[in-house]
Amino acid sequence: MRQNSFASATVEIHRDQRVISSGLYRVVRHPMYAAALVLFSGMPLLLGSYWSLLAIPPAFAGLAARLLDEEKHLTRDLPGYAEYRRKVRYRLLPGPW
């Protein structure tokens, strides 16, 4: 939140919003979602609830769907986001995606 004060649960563009491309946003376009994946994966292991690991694929699918929808919205409505996408290739993890 310190690097990107525009982050919120609702995908919306504010009048004074700008593309954040420093810090973790230099490496991946959605570092908060990447952290959520670590949390989704680590919590069942931490609690010893191995059956809960079955929830990870659906959680990842839901997060990926939201991420793709958000990127469409930002590319269309946030000036500079299309250029940012060209510079920062990876969405969540450098290399795979």
Q: Are 71 and 65 in contact (CB under 8 A)?
A: no
Give the range among 13-22, 32-41, 57-66, 82-91 with minimum mean pLDDT. 13-22
pLDDT score for 95: 83
64: pLDDT strictly greater than 70: yes
Q: Are 50 and 44 in contact (CB under 8 A)?
A: yes
Ranges of each domain in the chain = 23-87
Cβ atoms < 10 Å from Cβ of 78: 16
Q: Are 43 and 52 in contact (CB under 8 A)?
A: yes
With CA atoms as reference, report the closest residue to 25 among 94, 78, 95, 96: 94
Percent of the chain with pLDDT over 70: 88
Residue with tokens 């969405």: 91
8: pLDDT strictly greater than 60: no
In this prediction, residue 7 has a pLDDT band, given cuts at 50, 70 and 90, of low
* Residue range 48-63: mean pLDDT, rounded: 90
